[in-house]
Amino acid sequence: MRHTEFWARIEAALGAGYARHWASQTVIAELGGRTPIEALDAGVTPKEVWAAVWRTLELPPVDR
């Protein structure tokens, strides 16, 4: 998964106006106590970050 696909998925789940704010403010334990943006900046793959976001938001399997 590329960063562009990650952002497209998170925007589809949360809305374009809220997705980046949520990703910059929401700390996820599964990401080492980092926000999704911090995890991406630290080199965690977008696929791994998306998986953690997907579980945190409890999205349906179709969005996996």
Query: How many domains does the structure of the chain reveal?
Result: 1
- pLDDT, residue 62, reads 87
Q: In this structure, is residue 39 part of a structural domain?
A: yes
The answer to the question of residue 50 being in a domain is yes
Residue in 10, 54, 48 with CA at minimum distance from that of residue 31: 48
Q: Burial level of 8, CB count in 10 A (0-12/13-18/19+)?
A: middle
Residue 63 lies in a domain: no
Q: Is residue 43 part of a domain?
A: yes
pLDDT tens digits, residue range 3-24? 999 999 999 999 999 999 999 9
Q: Is the pLDDT of residue 63 over 90?
A: no
pLDDT of residue 23: 98
- 23 located within any domain: yes
Q: Which domain holds residue 18?
A: 3-58
pTM of the model: 0.93
Phi, psi (deg, nearest 5) at residue 31:
-100, 25
pLDDT in tens, 24-34: 999 999 999 99
Give 33-53 pLDDT, tens digit per residue.
999 999 999 999 999 999 999
